[in-house]
Structure 1
């Protein structure tokens, strides 16, 4: 495996850096730096998508004929890495990075013509309707019903943990259209217009105080059968295809490396429990060193996956492995960030952060007062949000089962 960039890749990296230096405004960098979860401030995220779309870089992983870039796997990795290192706000993954791939693979020509341009320019903004109150990790047990009635499916039930449902104008959802055979059979992948009559959205207040997640209720919502992606009763096939993109893991290491560097820099200036700085404390420094070593290992694994893709090889169950390592390392680092933030990191000060959704029941000080630095205000919110990382996109326990079966033959 060759770890050094080629001359062409180095030139591309420089091109990306120049673009980021020119287009990333201080406001956009602030939104990326002060994000409290994997979701950036919505307005900043959409503005960055608009800028990327103008350059033709909003959806580089799409096929060229639909607006993607004819990049090598290495160039894709470089672009993601440089964007993270530059502090760019994250784009919402639901449309560009997830359902768009399913639409490209399974959509009708009419569906592609309508949804793909809208996703690119931001007119179509998707949320994901998978989990239900009684169906989380065991997704195939979902029960939200869709009953055929002429040219429509009539949908009744609810979805939960629906990110950005209040901002979305479309949802991609799994619904139950049949109850015969295995529970994976009889599930249909449906695209639902969120302005349809009979839809009610109730925000859920997260432990961080943010309203990013929601529960969505459907009361006899009529959805045209032309909005079925793939075939009725065969939505599980589409969902499995899409999960590969949801778990991703293409370039998690750069963001974790940036986080580790910030922790190390802050620890060098924070008092330690036995004199000196926190960086001198053996317990803290050993845990930080362990996290940094594991982050370097994660990057090597990402390079290995990149090399396999570059050679046209199947990387195997790497998405599960990278998902486990990336989310659990992020949890370790946010724990260390909270520790190094000290007492000022325990204060609840979301008014100086850039959260991914509204903050419920919080009255900001009229003078904008902040105790400590802005990163200390981010620390507790990021910590709480990261607790969910090992659960969403398939819990890490399930990912370990996948690895046990696919890699170890157990």
Structure 2
């Protein structure tokens, strides 16, 4: 794939080096097009060494090749990180006063801008208007992260991490319309990761969930405009998604408490976490040691079913009747039935609106970056989600949630 990486003139330009490396290490041909100001932060030689291609900033460089037209027309994907307030203002105005701006004008491929600037600049009416203008033209403008900015300042406007930008860029390469702004004004509660039920100060009962699917759901939902609360159990060192509020829990009981806290205000609840079904009946105060006093067995008690409890709470009026509830089922087949047989029974038993079904085992679903499965609806619908990245699967699940919103709106 031919990728153009634009780099604006902000302190976050140094992070673009990691982004460029991600593209090249995954086999993509990269051309870096910085602004002249970007070269004040990262030198031309660095960009050329990372991309393996020449780097220019002006339209009069390499004139016979007509780069200000050719680069945009030939690109399969164009990513700008960081996109500064000044650069977005020039793009919204249709300027073509340097090579990057001209390239963006000629591009007909998916375009992703990752803004980075101080909070006051991000929230300024001029920037807000420019972002809306660019989005209205089909440009994907990411929501920035919140955190440490230049100097001692903190707030919204931080560049999302390079891995996150790369993942969202590759999502657009898989599906150009993957990030519509169709969840603006919606509040989503999403759970992710596994829970761990302590046995003693050292050991616990857990599972192999990495949290990647739940994080992908939160990341994509936030970039589609949703106000997202991510309730995260144990994950494989995943960075917090940009523009997402993250609440961390450890056990199934803690997850239940936090989910029920946020559920009344949610338009949708997506239970992607792998919640333990059982926990030890007692927790030893000291490490259980081998020897004469070791237990013959470890009694377990059943954890409450958080998903079924949410459905019951909705029926009881504790949660809005319009709240969409989505469950996840990691299933295996056996001599009594296949994956879908068990999934259909689970959907009927749980009573949720949608159930995402993953076949697990043999490198499927857990601890990997790709996924597939089926989506079952309470209306009897069944659809294959197809194989792809977990971000792509997240988008398809959120498409179904939006469809439920729209169906309910049409019935009113």
Pick 1 or 2: higher relative contact order, CA cutoff 8 A, min separation 6. Answer: 1
Greater percentage in strand: 2
TM-score over 0.5 for the alignment? no
Structure (1 or 2) with the greater helix fraction: 1
TM-score (norm 1): 0.22
